[in-house]
Amino acid sequence: MNIMAKQPRRLESYVGGNWVAGAKEGVPLLDASTGVPVAFIDSSGIDFKQILAYGRDKGGPALRRMSFHERAAMLKALGPALLERKEEFYALSTATGATRADSWIDIEGGIGTLLSYASKGRRELPNARVLLDGDAEQLSKDQSFSAQHILSPLQGVAVHINAFNFPCWGMLEKVAPTLLAGVPAIVKPASQTAYLSELMVRRIIETGLLPEGALQLVCGSVGDLLDHVEGQDVVTFTGSAATGQRLKMYRAIIQNSVRFTMEADSLNAAVLGLDAAPGTEEFDLFVKEVTREMTVKAGQKCTAIRRVIAPRSYSEALIAALNDRLGKMAIGNPADETVRMGPLASLGQREEVRARIRDLATEAEIVGGDPDNPRVTSGDASAGAFLNPVLLYCDKPGSARAVHDVEAFGPVSTVMPYDTAEEAVDLARRGKGSLVASVFTNDPHFAEEVVLGLAPFHGRVMIGNRLSAKSSTGHGSPLPGLVHGGPGRAGGGEELGGIRGVKHYMQRTAVQGTPRLLSAVTGRWMDGADARVGSEHPFRKSLAELKVGDQLVTATRTVTLDDIEHFAHFTGDTFYAHMDEEAAKANPFFEGRVAHGYLIVSFAAGLFVDPAPGPVLANYGVDNLRFLTPVNPGDTLQVQLTCKEINPRINAEHGEVRWDCKVTNQLDAVVAQYDVLTMVAKTRE
Ligand code: NDP
């Protein structure tokens, strides 16, 4: 299908394994700059109950048959396939009003997020189908009853209802963790810009990389879909607070305790430090950042700076500096490369923003930008949804309400003055919970007071200053590894945050039982479970032969004072506890000189290592190392090394093996406990 044909297309939904058009002709979607129809959208005729069932019955089982690493590999293959088609996405993105720079955030930012999840999936998750959460909890003295928290994929469908402003990123940032978790997704893009999401989903489906039913798309209304969601489903929503609250109240969502993640309006603040006077680098950085946040995507960004909180005595200079920059902004049709800010997504959206500016103007004066007569340098000013950046000033923000409450979803910000750091925090908190706040300061005391004051009300806080200016990702960029979402007014949801975002689509379960059966369930050996001591050293075994529970009990070694002296002088670690009998005795933890912890670890390695070349390729670290009982000269050490977890890599000739290492003394007291991490070949060859 030639998507780029000039004729407006009837968008199709991808449901039940087929592309289907709505039963009716549909509503026209207009190019934001020219007003010319780009597409028609309609979803009537779709059986929404059926598509939920299709996702649950077809996509879910197929995804759950794959391991985390297999799903990560699927995302990794998808990224380059989409990047190859990126120019096609950019070309269509212009119709949404996005400049090339805006589209970069949406298109390549979205694909980058997908790839970031692919990489995190391979590096931070096991090549398994179940995820262990934390350590085992011992529930009995004789180790006959323990517990382990596990996370397993929900067996329903994730319904993603997205906003119009990022048709690609908004979809991929949710789809990537969902698929990685092993849960199928149904994406419902906002109608206004659904043609771009539809194009991207077409290209995704064409790759054939996703199992059938893993991804469905509804272009247009989702009809009665939310009446049929069940307890294993998840609904995520990005958009207006009013719609979000309405959807959250759906009977099926409440009755079935369906997880509902909401990301709604957010009156994000940026605070200029008391130290950041005009003339400082922080002042200049602040001006740049506020300008950028007001104009990227024409301010239609959930993270955009809506409230500019600045020291009262700098406000005048700040407004002048912002107006200077904003006044030079080239506004127009983004098809023209000289344009720096495109139109809003639609004429309706512009009317909405103008109405919200009028609300704000009841408490604040407009100090920059005419909301009614757009200063357009390229394109037809009367046809497109163009709007000048509008700067307001509210002199008494402490007693105002609208400026903390009304989100004008466009290039609109309000400057509000403060006198003390406490007051700055108080003003920011009047947003009742936001996605992000930024603080521009070079003063550690100001940073501490303000950031700790803001943190409970925000999902992310960015500190900007001269040292991070070059490397900073900026106020407005949600990053795949960092939490995106905010409390209260911002919706109370949380997305991304690396692997945290994957867990939003999984159920945490505390599994209790005898260690032997818990090990069978989780694939991880634990104290009390069966162990096999064989004639062959486990380091001689490749992944093909090694089994969880294979164990080595070593010979013993007695630690002498000479060993401690030798180790101290050899390494240079002559800490008094190892060298000075009197001082060591005075220490409440010791009865005299003790062996270095690292000496114990080194002796342990000497006891358990099998030296000849073999399948064990490398030791890449230890986890959770604890020294539990002091070792005095004359104590005798012994090691119990047990294969705890095997994680074969896909597309590699090796895998990771985690060994439980327990070092005991002659009284059987555990002196050190840790996990040894090794790379082991898949075969002996
Ligand atoms: P809406 O809340 O109207 O729509 C958001 C999403 O919800 C869209 O996909 C929309 O679909 C869908 N939707 C609307 N009604 C229903 C329903 N009854 N059942 C199921 N889905 C529904 O927001 P808009 O996109 O129109 O934007 C309006 C305002 O929301 C903006 O002006 C801005 O203030 C805010 N907004 C906030 C964002 C944020 O991230 N904080 C992002 C975008 C917007 P459809 O498009 O088909 O109606």
Q: How far, in Å, from the CA of 558 to the mean position of ligand 1?
A: 70
Of ligand 1's listed atoms, the one at least distance from the Cα of 221 is: 47
376-378 and 185-188 beta bridge pairing: unpaired
Instruction: Enumerate the H helices of 17-156 as residue ranges.
Output: 48-54, 60-65, 68-84, 86-93, 100-124
Question: Are the C-beta atoms of 440 and 465 separated by less than 8 Å?
Answer: yes
One-letter amino acid identity for 679?
M
Of ligand 1's listed atoms, the one at least distance from the Cα of 264 is: 41
Of ligand 1's listed atoms, the one at least distance from the Cα of 222 is: 20
Catalytic residues: 263, 302
Which segments within 264-401 are labelled E, that is strand?
Answer: 269-272, 307-311, 331-332, 365-368, 376-378, 390-393
Low pLDDT (below 50) residues in the chain: 1-3, 5
Of ligand 1's listed atoms, the one at least distance from the Cα of 189 is: 9
Q: How far, in Å, from the CA of 596 to the mean position of ligand 1?
A: 61
Q: What is the pLDDT of residue 1?
A: 46
Q: How far is CA 45 from CA 52, 74, 186, in A?
A: 15, 32, 17
Q: Looking at ligand 1, which residue's alpha carbon is closest to its atom 10?
A: 190
Question: Are the C-beta atoms of 602 and 564 separated by less than 8 Å?
Answer: no
Q: What is the pLDDT of residue 400?
A: 97
Return the best residue to mutate from 164, 165, 237, 302 for the ligand 1 pocket (most ligand atoms within 8 A of CB).
Answer: 164
Question: Are the C-beta atoms of 484 and 494 separated by less than 8 Å?
Answer: yes
Cα-based angle 54, 58, 59 (whole degrees, multiple of 5): 95
Strand, coil or helix: 557 = strand
Q: What is the pLDDT of residue 206?
A: 97
Q: How far, in Å, from the CA of 239 to the mean position of ligand 1?
A: 4
Of ligand 1's listed atoms, the one at least distance from the Cα of 491 is: 41
Q: How far, in Å, from the CA of 240 to the mean position of ligand 1?
A: 5
Q: How far, in Å, from the CA of 190 to the mean position of ligand 1?
A: 6
Q: Looking at ligand 1, which residue's alpha carbon is closest to its atom 15?
A: 243
Task: List all residues whose CB is within 6 A of at least one atom of ligand 1.
Answer: 161-165, 188, 190-192, 221-222, 238-240, 243, 247, 263-266, 302, 352, 407, 409
Of ligand 1's listed atoms, the one at least distance from the Cα of 242 is: 2
Q: What is the pLDDT of residue 66?
A: 97
Q: How far, in Å, from the CA of 238 to the mean position of ligand 1?
A: 7
Q: How far apart are CA 461 and CA 269, in angstroms?
A: 10
Q: Tell me the two tokens of residue 436.
A: 């992000």
Q: Looking at ligand 1, which residue's alpha carbon is closest to its atom 5?
A: 239
Q: What is the pLDDT of residue 455?
A: 97
Strand, coil or helix: 368 = strand
pTM of the predicted model as reported, rounded to 2 decimal places: 0.91
Residue closest to 173 by CA, chosen among 119, 80, 110, 124? 110
What residues form DSSP beta bridges with 552?
A: 641
Q: How far apart are CA 594 and CA 596, in angstroms?
A: 7
The C-alpha R_g of the chain, in whole angstroms, comes to 30
Of ligand 1's listed atoms, the one at least distance from the Cα of 246 is: 18
Q: What is the pLDDT of residue 649?
A: 87
Burial of 523 (0-12, 13-18, 19+ CB in 10 A): middle
Torsion of CA 72, 73, 75, 80, to 10 degrees: 150
Q: Looking at ligand 1, which residue's alpha carbon is closest to its atom 46?
A: 190
- This model of the complex carries an ipTM of 0.94
Question: Are the C-beta atoms of 197 and 217 separated by less than 8 Å?
Answer: yes
Helix pair 68-84, 194-207: axis angle to 10 deg: 120
Long-range CB pairs of 540-545, under 8 A, 24+ apart, other chains included: 540/610, 540/614, 540/615, 541/615, 542/615, 542/680, 542/681, 542/682, 542/683, 542/684, 543/615, 543/646, 543/648, 543/654, 543/655, 543/657, 543/680, 543/681, 543/682, 543/683, 544/682, 544/683, 544/684, 545/684
Q: How far apart are CA 266 and CA 239, in angstroms?
A: 10
**pLDDT tens by residue, 168-201:** 999 999 999 999 999 999 999 999 999 999 999 9
Return the best residue to mutate from 240, 250, 306 for the ligand 1 pocket (most ligand atoms within 8 A of CB).
Answer: 240
Q: Looking at ligand 1, which residue's alpha carbon is closest to its atom 24?
A: 239
Q: How far, in Å, from the CA of 353 to the mean position of ligand 1?
A: 14
Q: How far apart are CA 536 and CA 607, in angstroms?
A: 15
Return the best residue to mutate from 195, 218, 243, 409 for the ligand 1 pocket (most ligand atoms within 8 A of CB).
Answer: 243
Torsion of CA 72, 73, 74, 75, to 10 degrees: 50
Q: What is the pLDDT of residue 6?
A: 65
Q: How far, in Å, from the CA of 163 to the mean position of ligand 1?
A: 5
Question: Phi and psi for 347 in degrees, rounded to 5?
Answer: -65, -35
